[in-house]
């Protein structure tokens, strides 16, 4: 595969509704897109990093730097035979998984198109429809949250995830369970607690949650293993897992029973496929997380969610929940029974809307 040209772009798009987690609030998304031209085709990738280093160390700006100074020059230096070979070339660079993933994933799109198969199939997907849930941020008060849950449940979403933090947890979950005793419900703390909160966290068991996501340290697996021995709610790890090896260690230690997979966090499809395999052989369910992606990253998430180990509804939901107008056509839509159909056409399966992308671009740079 000979890469002829790479283009970096920053786009800026306001979210339809701001999104608040235990670590902060996002109103405007600043997203770095990567376009790769190779073999007479072009493929797009998205950097899923946030605006600030609050979810992980990466930001859209650190990704721009690492792509511009290292990843893009390394990719242009000599041809690669496959996206996985490029992933291997990037291995000496420590961390910066979201920057790596954007470039590698663009190559997967090109490869799929070249082979005349859908991206989902190229990465090993088997499902033609994926189950969807939603992630609902912290709200100004419980009534607003209950209303939002009611709206998403009636839209058909198969499970509801709510964000929690100290002061917005047990009483909120209590209210949700009173109003919605039967919905599939889970909570994501984004590392808002420590083991000192053990007695408090034990109360979560009352709400028969599907799981609690990343309650403790963003880089921890030891304390999570201790916590998992004390609570019956399954722990799902997000922030702590960056590779198949991380997953193996966390699982063997008993730190989690479920894993949230994010393409950016784990560094792209090659790593995601390995991680998926580790979880499959150990019977650990995985599901696809979200990073408030534009249509490009969302399309990649749909493809990844079609792998057979993705047995639980993910956070991949309809474009319209995030954007007044997405940058792909068609936009990602969700059926009344809470599923997304996996595109069966060659390549990405959604057309990047070049006019729309140009309109929201705030800077771009080309490399060849
Ligand atoms: O922890 O899963 C998370 C968004 C940004 C950063 C971290 C997380 C999230 C979400 C939203 O929960 C998922 C989405 O709707 O894209
Ligand atoms: Mg999470």
| Confidence tier at 216 by pLDDT (50, 70, 90) | very high
292: CA distance to ligand 1 center in Å?
6
- Rounded to 10 degrees, the C-alpha dihedral 110/116/118/120 comes to -70
226 is catalytic: no
Q: What is the pLDDT of residues 252-300, one digit of tens each?
A: 999 999 999 999 999 999 999 999 999 999 999 999 999 999 999 999 9
> Residues whose CB is under 5 A from ligand 2 (ion)?
188, 213, 238
User: For 135-184, what is each residue's pLDDT tens digit?
Assistant: 999 999 999 999 999 999 999 999 999 999 999 999 999 999 999 999 99
Residue percentage of the chain with pLDDT more than 90: 99
User: Catalytic residue among 262, 325, 359, 364, which?
Assistant: 262
Q: What percent of the chain has pLDDT over 70?
A: 100
pTM, to two decimals? 0.96
Q: How far apart are CA 62 and CA 94, in angstroms?
A: 13
Span from the CA of 260 to the centroid of ligand 1 (angstroms): 10
User: What value does the mean pLDDT take over residues 31-41?
Assistant: 97
Q: What is the pLDDT of residue 328?
A: 98
Counting ligands in written order, which one lies closest to the CA of residue 213? 2
Closest residue by Cα to residue 88 from 242, 263, 246, 271: 271
**364 a catalytic residue:** no
Determine the pLDDT at residue 152: 98
Report the residue among 15, 16, 17, 21 best suited for mutation to probe ligand 1: largest number of ligand atoms under 8 A from its CB: 21
DSSP 140-186: SSHHHHHHHHHHHHHHT-S-EEEE-BTTBSHHHHHHHHHH-TTS-EE
Residue 163 pLDDT: 98
Instruction: Report the pLDDT averaged over residues 205-223.
Output: 98
Give the pLDDT of residue 19: 98
The minimum-distance atom of ligand 1 relative to the CA of 262 is 2
Residue 214 pLDDT: 98
Q: What is the position in ligand 1's atom list of the atom closest to the CA of 134?
A: 15
Q: What residue owns the CA closest to ligand 1's atom 4?
A: 291
Nearest CA to ligand 1 atom 14: 290
Give backbone dihedrals phi and psi of 295, rounded to 5 degrees, phi first.
-55, -30
Distance CA 49, CA 347 (A): 24
pLDDT in tens, 43-87: 999 999 999 999 999 999 999 999 999 999 999 999 999 999 999
Mutate to test the pocket of ligand 1, among 58, 135, 236, 266 (most ligand atoms within 8 A of CB): 135
pLDDT at 281: 96
Rounded average pLDDT over 219-244: 98
């Amino acid at each position: 595969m000979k890469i002829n040209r790479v283009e970096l772009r920053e786009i800026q798009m306001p979210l339809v509704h701001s999104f608040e987690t235990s670590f902060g609030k996002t109103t405007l998304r600043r997203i770095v897109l990567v376009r790769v031209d190779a073999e007479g085709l072009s493929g797009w990738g998205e950097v899923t990093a946030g605006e600030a280093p609050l979810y992980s160390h990466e930001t859209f700006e650190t990704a721009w730097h690492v792509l511009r100074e290292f990843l893009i020059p390394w990719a242009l230096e000599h041809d690669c035979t496959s996206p996985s070979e490029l992933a291997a070339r990037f291995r000496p660079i420590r961390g910066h998984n979201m920057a790596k993933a954007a470039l590698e994933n663009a190559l997967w799109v090109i490869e799929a198109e070249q082979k005349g198969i859908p991206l989902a199939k190229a990465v090993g997907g088997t499902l033609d429809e994926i189950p969807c849930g939603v992630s609902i941020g912290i709200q100004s008060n419980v009534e607003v949250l209950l209303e939002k849950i009611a709206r998403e449940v009636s839209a058909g979403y198969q499970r509801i995830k709510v964000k929690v933090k100290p002061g917005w947890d047990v009483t909120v979950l209590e209210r949700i369970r009173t109003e919605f005793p039967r919905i599939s419900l889970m909570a994501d703390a984004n590392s808002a607690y420590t083991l000192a909160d053990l007695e408090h966290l034990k109360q979560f068991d009352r709400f028969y949650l599907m799981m609690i996501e990343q309650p403790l340290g963003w880089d921890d697996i030891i304390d999570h293993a201790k916590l998992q021995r004390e609570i019956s709610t399954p722990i799902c790890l997000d922030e702590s897992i960056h590779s198949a090896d991380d997953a193996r260690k966390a699982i063997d230690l008993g730190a989690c029973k479920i894993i949230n997979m994010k393409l950016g966090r784990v560094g792209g499809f090659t790593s995601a496929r390995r991680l998926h395999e580790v979880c499959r052989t150990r019977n650990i369910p995985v599901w696809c997380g979200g990073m408030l992606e534009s249509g490009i990253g969302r399309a990649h998430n749909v493809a990844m969610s079609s792998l057979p180990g993705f047995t639980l509804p993910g956070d991949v939901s309809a474009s319209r929940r995030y954007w007044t107008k997405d940058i792909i056509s068609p936009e990602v839509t969700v059926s009344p029974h809470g599923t997304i159909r996996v595109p069966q056409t060659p390549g990405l399966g959604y057309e990047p809307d070049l006019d729309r992308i140009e309109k929201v671009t705030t800077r771009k740079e080309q490399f060849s």
